Amino acid sequence: MILSGKTVMISGVGPGMGRKLALLAAAEGAKVAIGSLPSEQAFIDGVAAEVKAAGGECIAVGCDVTDQAQCHAFAAATIDAFGTIDGLVNSAYVHGGWDLFEDADLDVWRRAFEVTFWGALHMTKAVLPEMKRRRAGAVVNISTQGTVRALPRQGDYACAKAALNAATRTCARELGEYGIRFVTTRMGRLLGVPYQVAMAERAKDQGITLDQLLDGVRAGIALGVIPPDEECAKGVVMFLSDYASMITGAGIDINGGEYMSP
């Protein structure tokens, strides 16, 4: 178990990769602290119950990452429960109205930055005192291939994630002396509940079946599959582990080969 003895925090846990990541990290030996909006407390309590039913340890904390005090309270609750913090996964985000830039409400873009970028910085600030005290830690920032591959109607999301990519490198350079690592995972499509619901709606709008739509997507991916969210979660777990002890400041594509960075 590659996370044995470690404590991992995950922000923005939802029904897709966040849930799978919590279950996988626990299966790999980590004690897990999961967070989502306070309004989603019932959902994350359910995820925590799944982790415990599988033999793991987990706490669920309502946390709006745009509120610095709530982020610090999340970190404090994790230390109270498990004694320390070894890893943080920043996965909280919002996506706007899928508008073209000329039609976009820039307040929607601003909200994307508040959650996706500033929220990740708030969470990172909250865990730094413990990681610096221990002179060890790993922060994985979940990003998107949209930061290196221009896609229409995703400007708010992609730009907020691009800022997070830059913050990853800055933090890696400045905090490496404390043994704290920072990595960005640039995700592509994630075949989980949220994606399948969105694609079902798109297929309906286009008058085709969901299978027809997904077959077209698979044709553009080198491995010929839409990456399952649990498989992508494995990459995140690896970067949290000591197997990645010499990897910091890096941006890694996890997308099945749909986009390959030069």
Residues designated catalytic: 157
What's the CA gap between 242 and 5, in Å, rounded?
11
Helix, coil or strand: residue 92: coil
What's the CA gap between 17 and 191, in Å, rounded?
9
Q: What would the DSSP string read from start to end of 72-88?
A: HHHHHHHHHHHS---EE
Residue type, 78: T
Q: For residue 26, what are its two tokens?
A: 């626990």
Q: What would the DSSP string read from start to end of 173-199?
A: HHHGGGTEEEEEEEE---BSHHHHHHH
Burial class (CB in 10 A: 0-12, 13-18, 19+), 215: exposed
155 C-beta neighbours (distance < 10 Å), count: 21
- The residues near 46 (Cβ < 8 Å, ≥ 6 apart) are none
